[in-house]
Amino acid sequence: MGISSLFGVMGSISFPFLRRMLNVQRTGFVGFFLLVIALIPCVVSPWLPGSPFVLYPNRNDTLPAFGSEEDCLVESSVRNIRQNTIQRIQAV
């Protein structure tokens, strides 16, 4: 969050200077170009090796598309705890 706020402040300070040197249309184009350049790593990162996302799961794979075996174990543990809690409440 700190870095993005720093970029926001830098952009608001640099906009009047860029507007004077270029013009509004070119300044907007430069801002859009920089935004696209900053977002490209975010779009590409799920396909890189070591990513926790499984974008193309195998047909025999029982894991969810966005998760790992540990996530499934945690989810099943939480589900069991909830069921046990409900059963205890109903027994009272």
Taking the domains of the chain in order of start, what are their residue ranges? 1-51, 53-92
Cβ pair 23, 17 in contact under 8 A: no
Give residue for tokens 């409900």: 86
**DSSP code, position 63:** S
pTM of the shown model: 0.49
Among residues 48, 49, 54, 50, the alpha carbon closest in space to that of 67 is found at 54
| Amino acid occupying residue 22 | L
Measured CA to CA, the distance from residue 72 to residue 56 in angstroms comes to 18
Q: What is the pLDDT along the chain (92 residues), one digit of tens a residue?
A: 678 889 889 989 998 998 999 999 999 898 899 889 988 988 888 888 877 776 666 555 555 555 566 666 667 777 888 888 888 888 87
